[in-house]
């Protein structure tokens, strides 16, 4: 019998051969894992790049997740007024154009069963600028030796000579409204005036006219608006990013149902709130949870934190958490929605029943955010700490009638400013920032009170030589 070489025998052992195959597979799998890890790193870098790009997109505030069952657009059956355009009266018809039909336009045959049809076209006429020549007289008084001059009440300037051709107050009012309320750039405003009215108006002239209107003529009314907002029972406030030249700034809004005040500052601190509302403010301040509204100088103020912001943050937590980590967000969401429903039911509930339900909600909220409660998720811990910080300002809307639990009113007032920021590039200097703040405040307040904007601005310009407080607004302190 032939003896086998031990090495050869060992090499032919099936177990050793299997081990060699497994080691080769492990090396192959390790290479695949390394390749997948590299692909994962590349995808994560790409995802981060897309997230950064998404913040600069045209619709940064679009919904990330659409509703499954969205409402159909348009008015619903039974809602709104369904009516055709009102038929003009004979006195309103300015021109009649009749087209006679004697024969068939196709074959030239005679017509039978003739009928008459009417159609009314409502259009705007061709608008051309009106030119008014003002003739005034001047002379020296023989008694006091002063040089005096007559003035027509519709004049907004007494310039003569090379500066004797001026743009009228109505055109300037239209420019101010389009620019500072609707957010249309000066270049587009100039184009519209040229095309629609045949009125040449340079961008520099518009800017100078707005500055003169704001700083010389409308400033006293702006000061009145600030005084009125200080007397309000409820004030909604918010801020958004702005620029003054190359410096970062913020546009603030302080608003209620009838009055709105804008201010543009390089500060985002509580000093702006105190400067506009004053240290003696006794109303309720509705805002988000930004730290400027929680400064020690405002500790004695009544406040309402925006429930809408809290619900939005809770929605984000519910979408990202799983299992037990989502329970806190679910419970607080249910509590806030129950509080909103209870506010709507307050008029039909007995006082004792309403107070008992409010007390139950307050007790339940204290239990959910109790500092002794064990929360293992870091994000839940931060959110509970945030609610404990604002605990006294979360459910105030249940105790004050007419108090809005959200800050939507201030956010709506900021939307035109966002449009202006995109189209006009904010302001180049502090003078322009003050001009925009004054005119935007006046225009939005006129809109809130149903005042004719153009007529109001015309009166302000014509009152510059008489009484700039001609348009004194009523004392309004309602929310």
Residue 324 has pLDDT above 80, yes or no: yes
Residue 127 has pLDDT above 90, yes or no: no
Cα 197 to Cα 126, 171, 202, 396, distances in angstroms? 8, 10, 14, 52
25 vs 12: CA distance, rounded Å: 20
DSSP assigned state of 236? E
Identify the H or E element spanning 139.
Answer: strand 138-140
426 vs 404: CA distance, rounded Å: 30
Give the residue-averaged pLDDT of 325-339. 92
> Which of 338, 324, 341 minimizes the C-alpha distance to 380?
324
Give counts: helices (H), strands (E), the chain: 14, 7
What is residue 471's predicted lDDT score, i.e. its pLDDT? 47
Task: Indicate the pLDDT class of residue 1, thresholds 50, 70 and 90.
Answer: very low
Q: Any idea which fold 207-304+407-465 has?
A: Nucleotidyltransferase; domain 5 (3.30.420)
Question: Greater confidence, 148 or 474?
Answer: 148
SS3 252: strand
Question: Greater confidence, 30 or 79?
Answer: 30
> pLDDT digit string (tens) for 167-210?
888 999 999 999 998 888 899 999 999 998 889 999 999 999 99
CB 199 within 8 A of CB 193: yes
Cα 159 to Cα 98, 164, 167, 370, distances in angstroms? 50, 5, 12, 71
Q: In this structure, what token pair is assigned to residue 355?
A: 């107070």
Q: Which residue has the tokens 């519910």?
A: 318
CB-based contacts of 416, cutoff 8 Å, min separation 6: 181, 182, 183, 440, 444
What is residue 58's predicted lDDT score, i.e. its pLDDT? 55
Question: Greater confidence, 222 or 321?
Answer: 222
What is residue 5's predicted lDDT score, i.e. its pLDDT? 52
What is residue 155's predicted lDDT score, i.e. its pLDDT? 79
Residue 283 has pLDDT above 80, yes or no: yes
**Segment among 51-65, 225-239, 299-313, 374-388 with least mean pLDDT:** 51-65
The DSSP bridge pattern shows strands 247-255 and 234-244 to be: antiparallel
The 10 Å CB-count burial string (b at 16+, else e) for 180-212 is bbebbbbeebbebbeeeeebebeeebbbebbbb
Residue 329 has pLDDT above 60, yes or no: yes
SS3 50: helix
pTM of this structure? 0.76
What is residue 191's predicted lDDT score, i.e. its pLDDT? 94
Give the residue-averaged pLDDT of 117-134. 87
237 vs 293: CA distance, rounded Å: 9
Residue 479 has pLDDT above 50, yes or no: no
- The three-point CA angle 266-411-395 to 5° equals 110
What is residue 309's predicted lDDT score, i.e. its pLDDT? 92
Residue 432 has pLDDT above 50, yes or no: yes
Task: Give the mean pLDDT of the chain.
Answer: 86
Question: Greater confidence, 91 or 419?
Answer: 91
Could you state, in order of their start, the residue ranges of all structural domains in the chain?
Answer: 207-304+407-465, 307-398
CB 427 within 8 A of CB 244: yes
Residue 477 has pLDDT above 70, yes or no: no
Cα 392 to Cα 223, 304, 395, distances in angstroms? 32, 9, 7
What is residue 15's predicted lDDT score, i.e. its pLDDT? 79
What is residue 50's predicted lDDT score, i.e. its pLDDT? 79
> pLDDT digit string (tens) for 271-281?
999 999 999 99
């Amino acid at each position: 019998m032939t003896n086998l070489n031990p090495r050869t025998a060992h090499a032919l052992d099936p177990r050793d051969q299997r081990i060699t195959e497994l080691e080769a597979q492990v090396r192959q799998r390790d290479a695949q894992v390394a390749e997948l890890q590299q692909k994962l790193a590349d995808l994560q870098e790409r995802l981060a790049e897309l997230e950064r790009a998404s913040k600069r997109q045209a619709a940064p505030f679009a919904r990330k997740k659409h509703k499954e069952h969205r409402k159909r657009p348009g008015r619903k059956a039974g809602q709104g007024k369904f009516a055709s355009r009102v038929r003009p009266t004979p006195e309103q018809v300015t021109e009649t154009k009749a087209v006679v039909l004697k024969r068939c336009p196709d074959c030239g045959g005679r017509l039978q069963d003739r009928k008459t049809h009417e159609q009314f076209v409502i259009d705007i006429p061709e608008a051309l600028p009106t030119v008014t020549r003002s003739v005034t007289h001047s002379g020296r008084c023989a008694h006091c030796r002063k040089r005096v001059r007559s003035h027509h009440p519709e004049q907004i300037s007494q310039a003569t000579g090379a500066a004797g051709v001026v743009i009228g107050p109505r055109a300037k009012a239209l420019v101010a409204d389009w620019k500072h309320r609707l957010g249309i750039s000066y270049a587009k405003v100039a184009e519209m005036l040229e095309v629609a009215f045949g009125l040449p108006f340079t961008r520099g002239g518009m800017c100078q006219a707005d500055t003169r209107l704001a700083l010389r003529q409308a400033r006293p009314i702006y000061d009145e608006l600030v005084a009125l907002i200080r007397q309000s029972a409820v004030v909604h406030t918010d801020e958004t990013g702005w620029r003054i030249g190359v410096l970062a700034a913020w546009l603030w809004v302080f608003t209620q149902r009838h009055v709105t005040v804008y201010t543009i500052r390089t500060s985002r601190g509580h000093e702006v709130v105190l400067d506009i509302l004053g240290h003696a403010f006794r109303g309720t301040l509705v805002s988000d949870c930004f730290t400027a509204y929680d400064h020690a100088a405002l500790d004695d103020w009544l406040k309402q934190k925006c429930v809408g912001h809290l619900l939005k943050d809770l929605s984000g937590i519910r979408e990202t958490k799983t299992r037990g980590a989502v329970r806190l967000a679910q419970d607080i969401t249910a509590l806030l929605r129950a509080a909103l429903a209870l506010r709507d039911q307050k008029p039909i509930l007995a006082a004792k029943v309403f107070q008992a339900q409010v007390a139950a909600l307050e007790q339940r909220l204290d239990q959910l955010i109790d500092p002794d409660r064990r929360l293992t998720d870091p994000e839940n811990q931060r959110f509970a700490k945030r609610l404990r910080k604002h605990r006294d300002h979360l459910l105030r809307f249940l105790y004050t009638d007419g108090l809005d639990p959200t800050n939507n009113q201030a956010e709506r007032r900021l939307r035109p400013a966002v449009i202006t920021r995109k189209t006009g590039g904010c302001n180049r200097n502090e003078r322009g920032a003050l001009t925009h703040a004054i005119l935007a405040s006046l225009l939005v307040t006129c809109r809130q009170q149903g005042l004719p904007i153009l007529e109001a601005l015309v009166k302000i310009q014509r009152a510059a030589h008489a009484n700039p407080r001609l348009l004194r607004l009523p004392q309004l302190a309602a929310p």
